[in-house]
Amino acid sequence: MKIGFVGLGIMGKPMAKNLLKAGHEVVAFDIMDANVAEVVAAGAVAGSSAADVASQVPLVITMLPNSPHVKSVVMGEKGILEGAAEGTILVDMSSIAPLASQEVEKACAAKGVRMLDAPVSGGEPKAIDGSLAIMVGGDKALFEEVKDLLLVMGATAVHCGAIGAGNTTKLANQIIVGLNIAAVAEAFTLVRKAGVDPQLVFEAIKGGLAGSTVMNAKVPMMIDGNFKPGFKIDLHIKDLANALDTAHTVGSPLPLTAAVREMMETLHADGNGQDDHSGLAKYYAKVSGTRIGK
């Protein structure tokens, strides 16, 4: 299948490459020429704009930072709707506000373009190995039409409801991940300050009820002092801001989410926003005077 891909950042590049490896043709665009060049080197064809990409393909995937970027790329000048023919499918795999997904879908429907919101979880490692968890909102029949394609990039793809449901599911995911990282950072700071070896504690508890995918992925990074980003703090701040905005709209209290977001804002202010979100350990180092690892 010939697929358009707009947005070739830390997640989009490996996702586009996995489509190429699976035998699909990819027409790619990003505002960063180096990102396009890397995907072209893997076999893609470069588009000159989002509109140009959409004009060449029956299906476009977008993977962009936040709601304003998606609105601009889809609805703005030289955007997808400018180039897309009636019947084109748009699969927005960005993590954005659910209400923004609904707004973009209305604009798409007016042009005869069919849209799904399909954010992902798993960060760069799972984008590379094609094992992302994909959460999808929109028409169920359209989901079934593109599900096999989604499973080229992910290990799972679950239809969660109407348009925006994918991003609501992703917000729930990001709340749980963020709070889990904060919890293990807090706990392992206590371990270090109490004079116990964090590695031994990790080995002792990871198989019990406290164990989690987050613990397995992030505690070794904290112990090693390795905060190379798989998912950046600044992006998690964006997701938690969307969660809080959505929660305020529907009347759902998120006190723990608000607290963790403020921890991340502190790290951003300290110049650590480009670190992996396991860098929450640095927040606890700042307030406790003790690092978990190196």
Strands 59-62 and 89-92 turn out to be: parallel
**pLDDT score for 230:** 82
Half-sphere exposure of 211 (CA within 13 A, CB side): 10
**pLDDT score for 59:** 98
Catalytic status, residue 170: yes
Q: Which CATH superfamily is domain 168-288 in?
A: N-(1-d-carboxylethyl)-l-norvaline Dehydrogenase; domain 2 (1.10.1040.10)
| Residue 41 to residue 255: CA distance in whole angstroms | 46
- pLDDT band for 119, please (50, 70, 90 cuts): very high
Span 28-52, pLDDT tens digits? 999 999 999 999 999 999 999 999 9
Q: Are 233 and 293 in contact (CB under 8 A)?
A: no
- Judged against a pLDDT cut of 90, whether residue 123 lies above it is answered with no
- pLDDT band for 231, please (50, 70, 90 cuts): confident
| Residue 48 to residue 53: CA distance in whole angstroms | 7
Query: Mean per-residue pLDDT for 212-238?
Result: 94
Span 144-188, pLDDT tens digits? 999 999 999 999 999 999 999 999 999 999 999 999 999 999 999
Q: Where are the domains of the chain?
A: 2-162, 168-288
- Judged against a pLDDT cut of 90, whether residue 122 lies above it is answered with no
Span 184-208, pLDDT tens digits? 999 999 999 999 999 999 999 999 9
When the pLDDT of each residue in the chain is averaged and rounded to a whole number, the result is 97
Span 261-288, pLDDT tens digits? 999 999 999 999 999 999 999 999 999 9
Query: Mean per-residue pLDDT for 240-252?
Result: 95
- Judged against a pLDDT cut of 90, whether residue 215 lies above it is answered with yes
**pLDDT score for 288:** 97
pTM score, two decimals?
0.90
**pLDDT score for 271:** 98
DSSP result, the chain: -EEEEE--STTHHHHHHHHHHTT-EEEEE-SSHHHHHHHHHTT-EE-SSHHHHHHH-SEEEE--SSHHHHHHHHHSTT-HHHHPPTT-EEEE-S---HHHHHHHHHHHHHTT-EEEE--EESHHHHHHHT-EEEEEES-HHHHHHHHHHHHHHEEEEEEEESTTHHHHHHHHHHHHHHHHHHHHHHHHHHHHHTT--HHHHHHHHTTSTT--HHHHHHHHHHHHT----SSBHHHHHHHHHHHHHHHHHHT---HHHHHHHHHHHHHHHTT-TTSBGGGHHHHHHHHHS--S--
Catalytic residue (one of 13, 17, 126, 170):
170
Name the percent of the chain lying above pLDDT 90. 97
Calculate the CA 282 to chain-centre distance: 22
- Judged against a pLDDT cut of 90, whether residue 3 lies above it is answered with yes
Query: Mean per-residue pLDDT for 11-18?
Result: 97
- Judged against a pLDDT cut of 90, whether residue 109 lies above it is answered with yes
Q: Which CATH superfamily is domain 2-162 in?
A: NAD(P)-binding Rossmann-like Domain (3.40.50.720)
**pLDDT score for 294:** 74
- pLDDT band for 139, please (50, 70, 90 cuts): very high
- Judged against a pLDDT cut of 90, whether residue 256 lies above it is answered with yes
- pLDDT band for 66, please (50, 70, 90 cuts): very high
